[in-house]
Amino acid sequence: MKEHKTGAIGWNQGKVWFLDQTRIPAEQRIVETSDPAVLAGAIRSLSIRGAPLIGIAAAYGVALDFISSPVARREDLQSRLARVQTLFASTRPTAVNLFWALGRMKKAADSFSGNLWDLGAVLRDEALKIHEEDRSTCEQIGVHGAALLSPGMSVLTHCNTGELATGGIGTALGIIRTAWDKKVLRHVYVDETRPLLQGARLTVWELTQLGIPSTLITDSTAAFLMLQGRIQAVLVGADRIAANGDVANKVGTYGLAVAARHHAIPFYVAAPTSTIDSTMKSGKDIPIEVRDSVELLRQGERALAPEGTEVYAPAFDVTPNELVTAIITEYGVMNPPFGSHLPERLGSLEDHKL
């Protein structure tokens, strides 16, 4: 398999490198490691973020574990797998791509019957395959999503769903890139995405690199822009989609969906099919990560609220399926009603465990 040397993460000569996203836009710092624990820490600290990218990073981490310390006895294989999978599974609970990728890696290890000293290379190739598949997936999502937009549209996006969040051009931002290339898109409005400002720091940075015109707004400005008629579509990603089409995404997404419905603006969700979790009947079943209170209370050394302030800081919220205009995947566009078992709409796709 070809080693990845572009994007936000990659494999190069037995090590994994990644772009530390906490430093953007001030600095483009590349970290290189052969230690799975460093990768897991980077996911936990949001140096590596975005549902598809988290899955890719975890897959690389499993491969690193077996390359750095090969298993000598087959009877030790399952305990080693369990240990490294637990390391990554404990990092971010909401993004299902993480668990999907870990499942892929376990399946590859379980089916391996050769010399155990070769297992690390086999797992590396599986991780590279996951990465390459996501690149292709993003391209297809971009094509399907851009076809839904009309010439001259201005769109709103939330958080970051581009090359910094995936193995390719992105999901929602991949649609934006494709639409811009096809000369369909006119302008992009970007929510700052409080409290960690992924929209301001990351999405605006990506759009600037691409030469796509954009305007940064506070999260609370979006509904007013809709009222003014300056937004014709909302494009967001997803960290987990329940079997009924409920969508977990960066907190603030639900409010955008409510505002879009009130203003009769289409609300599109772009995500790979690996984000659909058939084990979750509805959004009520999706585990929602709650972040440390310091992310709301402080900005660097500066206090943003009085000492002792009570904080509730969910990283994600859930948008009910009735507010979703369409879900855009690599296999095409799914329109409502979504029914109670969304994966069946996509057919039998063994690789994605639907």
Distance CA 270, CA 141 (A): 7
Which residues make Cβ contacts (< 8 Å) with residue 320, sequence separation at least 6? 246, 257, 283
More confident position, 70 or 102: 102
More confident position, 350 or 163: 163
User: Counting every residue, how long is the chain?
Assistant: 354
Among 138, 162, 189, residue at a domain's last position: 138
* Residue 123 maps to a domain: yes
Please say whether the beta carbons of 263 and 320 come within 8 A.
Answer: no
* Residue 233 maps to a domain: yes
Mean pLDDT in residue range 24-49: 97
The residue range of the domain holding 58 is 9-138
Strand 240-242 versus strand 247-250 pairing type: antiparallel
Please say whether the beta carbons of 97 and 275 come within 8 A.
Answer: yes
Check whether residue 159 and residue 28 sit in a common domain: no
Mean pLDDT in residue range 102-115: 95
Q: Cα-Cα-Cα-Cα dihedral of 333, 268, 319, 251, to 10°?
A: 130
Strand 153-157 versus strand 30-33 pairing type: unpaired
Question: What CATH number does residue 310 fall under?
Answer: 3.40.50.10470
Mean pLDDT in residue range 128-149: 98
Check whether residue 185 and residue 115 sit in a common domain: no
Check whether residue 86 and residue 148 sit in a common domain: no
Question: What CATH number does residue 34 fall under?
Answer: 1.20.120.420
Per-residue pLDDT at 94 = 96
Q: Give the tokens for residue 176.
A: 């934006």
CA-to-CA separations, 302 to 121, 124, 133, 306, 307, in angstroms, rounded: 47, 43, 42, 11, 12
Sign (positive/negative) of CA torsion 71, 73, 74, 76?
negative
Query: Which alpha helices (H) appear in the chain, and where do they start and end?
Result: 36-44, 51-68, 77-89, 96-110, 119-146, 172-181, 198, 204-210, 222-227, 253-262, 294-297
Give percent of the chain with pLDDT exceeding 90.
90
Check whether residue 311 and residue 246 sit in a common domain: yes
Check whether residue 217 and residue 93 sit in a common domain: no
pLDDT in tens, 308-336: 999 999 999 999 999 999 999 999 999 99
Question: Which position has the token pair 């409290």?
Answer: 195
Which residues make Cβ contacts (< 8 Å) with residue 47, sequence separation at least 6? 18, 20, 21, 22, 31, 41
Check whether residue 151 and residue 252 sit in a common domain: yes
* Residue 2 maps to a domain: no
Check whether residue 154 and residue 192 sit in a common domain: yes
pLDDT in tens, 147-162: 999 999 999 999 999 9
pTM for this prediction: 0.94
Q: Among the options 65, 191, 239, 246, which is catalytic?
A: 239
Grade residue 353 by pLDDT with cuts at 50, 70 and 90: very low
Sign (positive/negative) of CA torsion 200, 203, 208, 213?
negative
* Residue 122 maps to a domain: yes
Check whether residue 244 and residue 335 sit in a common domain: yes
Residue 75, pLDDT > 90, answer: no
* Residue 286 maps to a domain: yes
* Residue 3 maps to a domain: no
Distance CA 314, CA 322 (A): 22
Tell me, yes or no, if 246 is annotated catalytic.
Answer: no
Q: Cα-Cα-Cα-Cα dihedral of 22, 189, 238, 6, to 10°?
A: -50
Number of domains within the chain: 2
Please say whether the beta carbons of 94 and 248 come within 8 A.
Answer: yes
Please say whether the beta carbons of 260 and 285 come within 8 A.
Answer: no
Check whether residue 121 and residue 165 sit in a common domain: no
* Residue 107 maps to a domain: yes
pLDDT in tens, 273-296: 999 999 999 999 999 999 999 999
Among 90, 119, 138, residue at a domain's last position: 138
Check whether residue 147 and residue 133 sit in a common domain: no
Distance CA 255, CA 32 (A): 38
Please say whether the beta carbons of 295 and 271 come within 8 A.
Answer: no
* Residue 1 maps to a domain: no
Mean pLDDT in residue range 93-116: 96
Check whether residue 95 and residue 195 sit in a common domain: no
Check whether residue 125 and residue 148 sit in a common domain: no
Per-residue pLDDT at 300 = 86
Among 122, 138, 154, residue at a domain's last position: 138
